[in-house]
Structure formats: structure tokens, C-alpha cells
Structure 1
Amino acid sequence: MSGAPGETDLRKMLSSLDVERRPGSFTFVEVDEATAEQLAVAHAMIVEDESTTLVLDVAEARRLGLPVVVDMAWLSLTVQSSLEAVGLTAAFSVALGEQGISCNVLAGFRHDHLLVPSDRADDAIEALIGLR
């Protein structure tokens, strides 16, 4: 069995790093499993022992009567990093942390996705691009 596809060399990943901002605002909501199964509008779902967390558009969460506890921008790193790559998460965590920007990370099969406070999205993009 071969390893996960994508880049594993940190220098190559950082030198080709670019960031795309997904349109809209996003929030995390907590629901029970039955509710989660009914909501096909989620951009992401994380099943924990205590409950299920969904990432929804802020407008969709409000429409469903779910509390909006945070307003986040969704940034996608366009470099195709391997699921086995080492160091990329640490590099962008340090860059964002030095700017005082909180970050919630979701890893897709091909890209890493960062949810950062909407009002700090431009600062986050600048910090991430600075890693090149």
C-alpha cells in the first residue's frame, strides 16, 4: 500500500503555499446525532463522545435556530499536502499564534482548512503568505 498522495517536503509545501478564502461566514454548532443526520447543509461534521459538532454557514445556523457562538472565515491552503506530511500544521500555527490569531484546523484528503475569526481573516492570510 502506498502512502497518502500529496507533498511531504515542508520547504516545498511552504514555498508553494497559497490561501483561498471560502465565501461566507461559518460557525461551530453542537447538536445530537439524530439532528446531525438530518442536516445535510454542514460543511464539516466531527463526532465526539458527548455530541456532534457541525460547521455551518452562519446564516444557515440562524435559520435553523441554532446559536452562533463564533463567526469564522474559512481559509483553505491550496498546497496539496499529504496526510502524512510533518511540520505544516506547526508552521502555520506558529505564524498565526505570533499574530494572536486563533485557528481551528480541519484536514481534508487534499488540503488543510483553517477557520479563523472573520475579523482577522486578512491578517491570517497575510501571516500565512509570509511563510513562503
Structure 2
Amino acid sequence: MSAGPSSTSDAGAAAGSIAQTDLAQMLAGLQVDVREGEYVYASTSDARSPLRELALATVTENEGLTCVLRRADADAHGVKYDFVAAWLTLRVHSALEAVGLTAAFSRALTRHGIPCNVLAGFYHDHLLVPADRCDEALAALHSLRGEAGV
């Protein structure tokens, strides 16, 4: 009998990464990468919209397709936006069923009044924070390493 498409455990093994569920362990080793550039949100209901091709991440909603784009691409295509973000990636492979990581980073950013939009990937969580507050967000997230024993 065929196993069909690669299972999630096969995919994790192939990447050489073990998904973590222990919050203290995740926080103790938390690293944050900053993706170069600035990013914006846009929405379209047009099936032929160039936004679909430019999108680095999408979410399908009843109202339309939400797209996360490079700001430069949005500007080049005349896309209107309000929120300009830095894209942070938490370099910890948290298991999809892990409990507490989202609450921990949300609490840390909230203490500093930093808004955050979260995209959860299979291997990492991605945070879009105001571009002009990127350094503050990094400091707040790095402070979580000291809270690992809590």
C-alpha cells in the first residue's frame, strides 16, 4: 500500500529538525531572523490579479485573498496599503500542537505596545511588526530567552 504524499513526520525528518513542544526549551534557544526589506498587506478578489503572483504569503478569506507583498512590489503595481512591516522569523521549530509560544511572544510585544501579525508556517512562526519598531520588537523577543525558566 502506498503511503501517498510525504507525511508531516517525513517532512520534518527530511529537514533535519525536530519539532519542539516544551515552552521553556523553545524560549531558551529562541533566535529571531529579520527578512530583508519591508512588507505590506493587500487584498484582492480578482482571480487574475498580479497580487497572487507577487504574494509571499496568502490567506483565503470570505472577503477575498489577503496577500503579503514586498513593499517595493506593491509600490511598483500601485497597490494601496497602510501597514508597513518588518518580517521576523522565529528560529525555533515549534510543533503545531505546542502550547504557549504564541502567548509568550504576544505578551512580550504587548508589554512594549508593539502590534504584531502572525503567520504560522510548518517549521516556523513569522511575525510582521511595524517596520519602524523592528529593533524594539527584536529586543522584546530576545528578552524571552531570560524567561525560559519561568
Shorter-chain TM-score above 0.5: yes
**Matches of residues 10-21 of structure 1 in structure 2 within 5 Å?**
10-21=23-34
TM-score by length of 2: 0.82
2:44 aligned residue: 31
Aligned residue pairs, count: 132
User: 1:116 & 1:14 partners in 2: Cα distance?
Assistant: 19
User: 1:43 & 1:83 partners in 2: Cα distance?
Assistant: 21
2:35 aligned residue: 22
Q: Pick from 115, 136, 148: which aligns with 1:102?
A: 115
User: 2:105 & 2:89 partners in 1: Cα distance?
Assistant: 12
The Cα RMSD (Å) is 1.8
- The runs of 5 or more residues in structure 2 that have no matched partner are 1-6, 13-17, 146-150
Note closer, same or farther for the CA distance 1:36–1:130 as it changes in structure 2 (3 Å cut). Answer: farther
2:21 aligned residue: 8
Note closer, same or farther for the CA distance 1:88–1:38 as it changes in structure 2 (3 Å cut). Answer: closer
Q: Which runs of 4+ in 1 moved over 3 A?
A: 1-5, 35-38
| % identity of equivalent residues | 48
User: 2:28 & 2:135 partners in 1: Cα distance?
Assistant: 20
Question: What SS is found at the alignment partner of 2:128?
Answer: strand
Say if 1:36 and 1:52, in contact at 8 Å, map to a contact too: no
> 1:65 deviation in Å?
1.2
* Of 53-62 and 39-48, the range deviating more from structure 2: 39-48
2:136 aligned residue: 123
TM-score by length of 1: 0.93
Note closer, same or farther for the CA distance 1:96–1:39 as it changes in structure 2 (3 Å cut). Answer: same
Question: What SS is found at the alignment partner of 2:30?
Answer: coil
